[in-house]
Amino acid sequence: MALTAEVTPSRARPLWLAGALVVLAASMVAGLLGGAADISPWQVILQMADWLPFLTVDSGLAPIEQGLLYELRLPRVLVAAVVGGLLAMAGAGYQGVFRNPLADPYLLGAAAGAGLMATVTIVLLPALAAYIPAAAFAGAVGGVFLAYALGNTAGRSGGTATLVLAGVAVTSFLTAIQTFIQQFKVEELQRIYSWILGDVGGGWDQFWLVLPYAVVSAVLLLLHGRMLDVLSVGEEEATSLGLRASRVRLFVLLAASLATAAAVAVSGLIGFVGIVVPHVVRRLAGGSYRSVLPLSLLGGAAFLVLADLAARTVIAPAELPIGVVTMFVGAPFFVAVLRMTRRTAT
């Protein structure tokens, strides 16, 4: 079932953007306040105030506690925000390109392809570690292409489920290859499995690595919001308005794959963010991609920051992989969306 051909107008877009910014700010503050270490929330707030320019505040925290906040919690919150925003925007972009409400980086094979190429680089080509994002990008594009090509072999009659099943098949196949390659470095299996289940705790190096790719992909996707709105009304209508549909799809596909690859390269495989957030955004603010894309960016960032907070605190002092938390939320949500889609199709 394709996405509805009629674009739902954005409802009070500036208000939704302001609200999303408030939610994101609140989630980031919560991410800094929460954790296994027993630090006074008030002292954490004072320390955050001290980070502001032209403001000096004595938080009363010991140097080791200040280091924990600045070197561990702060970059972790920032990486979670960037990765969550990228995955949510990529999901919205894929849904716009394929006009399919179940398109998602994790389900389409993009995340698996990026993960496979990143693993190949880490395990077999460690000297090229600086090119992990580029390798992941190539893998993400390849994974989506395989899923789309396989889905097309069933023709149009397969509907929504066809592309999803093709993505699942491609994901399973690429994950099997990835698992095989991992056996070449058995001593690093724990590190690799931790990466597969999602990890945003790599520190400032991880944040600075993902930031330039995040900026480029986010800007490209945001610039194509209006064009995705035109595409959503139908191919013939878009062509009659002078829009080159194939070029728009290519640019959005590449931008969404770059976002997925950047996220996977630094955080591993984190599923369902690209389904949960865009669907919530459409329910609340309407279906225009001029609203869906920026709100998905902000909503995805807030969602993953809160998911990481849950991962750090639910079984503290131990820690859950963040991918486990998103699956707990995303799997039931995916079933609900699939049921609604099948109901609409009938």
pLDDT at position 154 is 62
Residue with tokens 């693993």: 119
Task: Supply the mean pLDDT for the chain.
Answer: 82
pTM of the entire predicted model: 0.84
Residue 340 pLDDT grade (very low, low, confident, very high; cuts 50, 70, 90): confident
Instruction: Kindly state the average pLDDT of the residues 45-73.
Output: 84
pLDDT at 4 over 70: no
pLDDT at 344 over 70: no
pLDDT at 309 over 70: yes
Q: Give the residue with greater pLDDT, 36 vs 68.
A: 68
Instruction: Kindly state the average pLDDT of the residues 82-105.
Output: 88
pLDDT at position 179 is 83
Counting residues of the chain whose pLDDT is more than 90, the rounded percentage is 21
Kindly report the backbone phi and psi dihedral angles of residue 9, in degrees, each rounded to the nearest multiple of 5, phi listed first.
Answer: -60, 150
The CATH number corresponding to 76-345 among 3.30.70.20, 1.10.340.30, 3.10.20.30, 1.10.3470.10 equals: 1.10.3470.10
pLDDT at 115 over 90: no
pLDDT at position 319 is 82
pLDDT at position 190 is 67
pLDDT at 2 over 50: no
Q: Give the residue with greater pLDDT, 224 vs 191.
A: 224
Instruction: Kindly state the average pLDDT of the residues 305-328.
Output: 87
Q: pLDDT, tens digit, for every residue of 117-145?
A: 888 888 888 888 777 778 888 888 888 88
pLDDT at position 294 is 94
**C-beta of residue 285 within 8 angstroms of C-beta of residue 291:** yes
Query: What b/e readout covers 182-203, taking b as 16+ CB neighbours within 10 angstroms?
Result: beeeeeeeeebeebbbbbbbbe
pLDDT at position 85 is 95
pLDDT at position 6 is 43
In angstroms, rounded to a whole number, what is the distance separating the alpha carbons of residues 292 and 323?
A: 24
Q: Which residues contact 143 (CB under 8 A, 6 or more apart)?
A: 108, 109, 110, 111, 112, 113, 114, 116, 170, 171, 174
In angstroms, rounded to a whole number, what is the distance separating the alpha carbons of residues 36 and 141?
A: 38
pLDDT at 305 over 90: yes
Residue 59 pLDDT grade (very low, low, confident, very high; cuts 50, 70, 90): confident
Among 224-228, 237-241, 329-333, the range scoring the smallest mean pLDDT is 237-241
Ranges of each domain in the chain: 76-345
pLDDT at position 161 is 65
pLDDT at position 308 is 92
Query: Ranked by mean pLDDT, which of 111-115, 153-157, 192-196, 342-346 comes out on top?
Result: 111-115
**C-beta of residue 232 within 8 angstroms of C-beta of residue 3:** yes
pLDDT at 3 over 70: no
